[in-house]
Amino acid sequence: MNPAAPPAQALIVVDVQRAGVSGDRAVPGAAGLLERTADLLARARSGGALVVHLQNDGAPGSGDEPHTPGWALHLPVEAGPAEVVRKTRDDGFAGTSLGDLLTGAGVESLAVCGVMSEMCVQATARTALALGHRVVLPYDAHATQDIPAAPGIDAAVPAAVVSRVAAWAISGDAEVTRPAADVTFAAPPRAR
């Protein structure tokens, strides 16, 4: 653990919905991801950090179509001020109350975890960075699917490589090398 790193004041759990983490469409390593995310949730709540679950409202017929079994959040949500923020785009800030929630609590630093690394996780982390937040992206707390082969173009790309590249793409600005177990949490200024 790096004791010099300041704690995160919020935890953003991106799209940890049943369609992406259970059944035959689960991301590779879903059990480990869920274990690490549950630990992050417990420690964030214990530390007084703001917790937000992003829940994607998928298109009709998709695995995360609203009010279908796959749309449900997989990990428990606690009653409280806006712990769940629904979204319709990759970026958890786009057209949602996420930015206002963070600003209202005085959040300066946040940790981001969840699925899919190269889409919703990265898009949300990028916007958080653009808004001036310190972002921690634990390398072992986000995941995605394999990218299938494209005939005549390339071979399949393993999910672990896709996740690593997604994190690497923002590594100049975000902290992406710390494991989930090393992330610490504290209450944001306006929640103290």
27 in Cβ contact with 159 (< 8 Å)? yes
Task: State the SS3 of 95-133.
Answer: CCCHHHHHHHHCCCEEEEEEECHHHHHHHHHHHHHHCCC
Residue 122 token pair: 């990265």
Known active-site residue 113: no
CA 165, distance to chain mean position in Å, is: 16
Question: CA angle 121-122-128, nearest 5°?
Answer: 95
Query: Three-class SS of residue 87?
Result: strand
Residue with tokens 């390339």: 154
- Burial annotation 20-51 (CB, 10 A radius, 16+ → b, else e): bbbeeebbebbeebbebbeebbebbbebebbb
Point out the catalytic residue in the list 11, 120, 170, 183: 120
Q: Which residues are the active-site residues?
A: 120
